[in-house]
Amino acid sequence: MRILISGFEPFGGSNNNPSEGVVRSVLASQARRPLARELSLFGTILPVVGGTRPGSARHTMRRCITDAQPNAVICFGEAASRATICIERVAFNERSYRIADNGGVRIASAPVIRGAPSLLRSTASHEGMLRAMRAAVRAHGVAVRMSDDAGRFLCNEVLFDCLHRARGAYTAVFIHLPQTPAQARVRGTLGGQPLPLAWSVRAAIAAIRWIAAR
Ligand code: PCA
């Protein structure tokens, strides 16, 4: 099984992003000892830049998918205002940025892909993945839930693009992570509940193992 995982660079005035930390930790862990049998794991950190030009998140992701030829893509991103880890099941064909991206561009309203359906559903086996992730972090009081709203910023944009281009070649899912306590100390809780990176890493490994066993 070939799995590609992605995280994002920091954005929105923070100097780190839990999704980047998760991807780096998971790759280090896989290098020490494979997380699952016959697993080839690939990872990338995406720029928080919209559109499809070189240097954008979508352009980077498309290149990684071409290079890695994955059976599954698991994208991770930060959702600072969330109190739980969320499995995103749908992506909208809409870009409506609440803040400027790291290229300084703020899109008021535009489709991700002109002429594509207004909504695409993730094709991963969410229920089983949710159970596996919950089991991995339950003892620490960490909650994991489903979500049908990945926002209208880069996380949604990347998931939509992955789903639209998959054509059965791979499954794709997005996992949103709360910010870390260190981030919250600097910018406040933003209505969410911070989560130490270690628990996000555990949940991520459970998700990868679940998908690797399919
Ligand atoms: N979160 C943003 C984009 C990058 C990230 O980590 C989002 O939820 O769209």
Instruction: Kindly give the distance from the C-alpha atom of residue 156 to the centroid of ligand 1, in angstroms, as a whole number.
Output: 8
Question: Which atom of ligand 1 approaches the CA of 152 most closely?
Answer: 9
Residues 6+ apart with CB under 8 A from 140: 199
State yes or no: pLDDT of 8 exceeds 90. yes
Instruction: Kindly give the distance from the C-alpha atom of residue 177 to the centroid of ligand 1, in angstroms, as a whole number.
Output: 9
Instruction: Kindly give the distance from the C-alpha atom of residue 138 to the centroid of ligand 1, in angstroms, as a whole number.
Output: 25
Active site residue 20: no
Q: Exposed, middle or buried: residue 118 (CB in 10 Å: 0-12, 13-18, 19+)?
A: exposed
136-176 pLDDT, tens digit per residue, is 999 889 999 999 999 999 999 999 999 999 999 999 999 99
Mean pLDDT, range 21-26, rounded to an integer: 98
Furthest-apart CA atoms within the chain: distance in Å: 45
Question: Which atom of ligand 1 approaches the CA of 17 most closely?
Answer: 6
Give the span between the Cα atoms of 187 and 200, in whole angstroms.
20
Give the span between the Cα atoms of 192 and 68, in whole angstroms.
34
Give the span between the Cα atoms of 192 and 176, in whole angstroms.
12
Portion of the chain with pLDDT greater than 70, in percent: 100
Pocket-forming residues, ligand 1, beta carbon under 6 Å? 8, 11, 17, 19, 48, 77-79, 151, 153-155
State yes or no: pLDDT of 27 exceeds 90. yes
pLDDT at 123: 83
- Tokens 């803040």, residue located: 99
Residues 6+ apart with CB under 8 A from 7: 17, 19, 20, 21, 22, 23, 24, 43, 44, 45, 46, 76, 77
pLDDT at 125: 83
122-131 pLDDT, tens digit per residue, is 988 899 999 9
Give the span between the Cα atoms of 38 and 203, in whole angstroms.
20
Q: Which of 77, 105, 107 is nearest to 94 (CA)?
A: 107
Distances (CA, A) of 178 to 22, 62, 76, 87, 94: 12, 26, 11, 12, 23
Residue type, 196: P
Give the span between the Cα atoms of 47 and 44, in whole angstroms.
10
DSSP codes, 80-102: TT-SSEEEE-EEES-B--SS--T
